[in-house]
Structure 1
Amino acid sequence: MQQWKKSFDHFFGDQFWHSFEHIMQPPIPQTNIYQMDKELTCYVNIPGLDSVDAIKVYIKGNRLFIIGDIPLGETEGQIIQQEIMHGAFERSIDLPYPVRADQIHASYRAGLLIIRLHQLIGEDEPSTAININQID
């Protein structure tokens, strides 16, 4: 991908990609979800939180909702390059199946929110807020 981008930069000029940055930036927060048997583990990249109270996480059926703000702090000067995603966000993620409300565990450590979920066998459950344990 980088080689392809460099070829375009050479042909169209260095500023070519600036008009497309809003399209090419990944959604925030960035997530990885892994499935093993009837369990999901979600890794959510949320750097710089002083307290887990700054984010809210909910489950409803087979959707995970994450709402919060990634702080960058005060910045000065004209931006030359921007790769760190920051600011207010609201993200919903489709899960492969509904999950159990009584088997949700979430922790935050070193910038990663880790959520462990277990498959619901049976009827849908109502929306569930998730408590997050902060690990220092």
Structure 2
Amino acid sequence: MIDPFQQMNEWRKNLDQFFGENFWNDFESIIKPNIPQINMYKTENEILCYVNVPGMRDINQIEIYADHTTLELRGNIHLDYARGSVVREEILQGNFDRKIQLPYPVRSDKIDATYQHGVLIIQLHRLISDKSSRNKVNIRMLEDE
């Protein structure tokens, strides 16, 4: 009897030899979507990032770093469910470490981050000078209204 996983690995090796070792990397974002999901909006001097991070009770669960033209997010999305077995699970969970390219350099001394209703909002301001420094961003928890 042929092992289907061994056969799949053989196919992958053959495709790697034919297309190159990085062939599967192009499909990784399709197969494994990025978490957390992000919407980014820019004006001439400001960038707003809306980050989907459900269930965060402790703002120290997420680390935000801004460095010149890169925004880095690290943390864990974990939803507690009451009981029972999963029937459908569409909200992505788990550890994440995302680096997002920004449309222009940002100031590391003027960044604001707030969290409310499962959305982390990061406000960045355009950098006029060229010096770069990586700083951790503090998040403020907003009370539910």
Q: Which TM class, normalised by the smaller chain length?
A: 0.7 to 0.9
1:50 alignment partner in structure 2: 57
- Alignment check: 8 A CA contact 1:98 1:124 kept: no
1:39 alignment partner in structure 2: 46
Matched, 1:105 2:134: no
Q: Which amino acid aligns with 1:56?
A: E
2:138 alignment partner in structure 1: 131
Distance (whole Å) between structure 1 residues aligned to residue 31 and residue 139 of structure 2: 31
2:12 alignment partner in structure 1: none
- TM (norm. structure 1) is 0.77
Q: Which amino acid aligns with 1:48?
A: G
Instruction: Report how many residues are paired.
Output: 115
Matched, 1:115 2:115: no
Residue 101 (structure 1) shift = 1.3
Q: Which amino acid aligns with 2:127?
A: L
Matched, 1:26 2:45: no
Residue 25 (structure 1) shift = 4.9
Q: How does 1:68-83 map to 2 (within 5 A)?
A: 68-73=75-80, 76-77=84-85, 79-83=86-90
Q: Which amino acid aligns with 1:42?
A: C
Note the residue ranges of structure 2 that are not aligned, 5 or more in a row. Answer: 1-26
1:16 alignment partner in structure 2: none
Q: Which amino acid aligns with 2:61?
A: A
Q: Which amino acid aligns with 1:66?
A: L
Residue 37 (structure 1) shift = 1.6
Residue 26 (structure 1) shift = 2.8
Quick one: percent identity of the two aligned structures? 41
Q: Which amino acid aligns with 2:80?
A: G
1:3 alignment partner in structure 2: none
Q: Which amino acid aligns with 1:120?
A: L
Distance (whole Å) between structure 2 residues aligned to residue 23 and residue 44 of structure 1: 19
Q: Structure 1 residue aligned with 2:94, among 76, 87, 109?
A: 87
Please give the root-mean-square deviation of Cα atoms over the aligned residues, in Å. 1.9
Distance (whole Å) between structure 1 residues aligned to residue 98 and residue 37 of structure 2: 10
The structure having more radius of gyration, on CA atoms, is 2
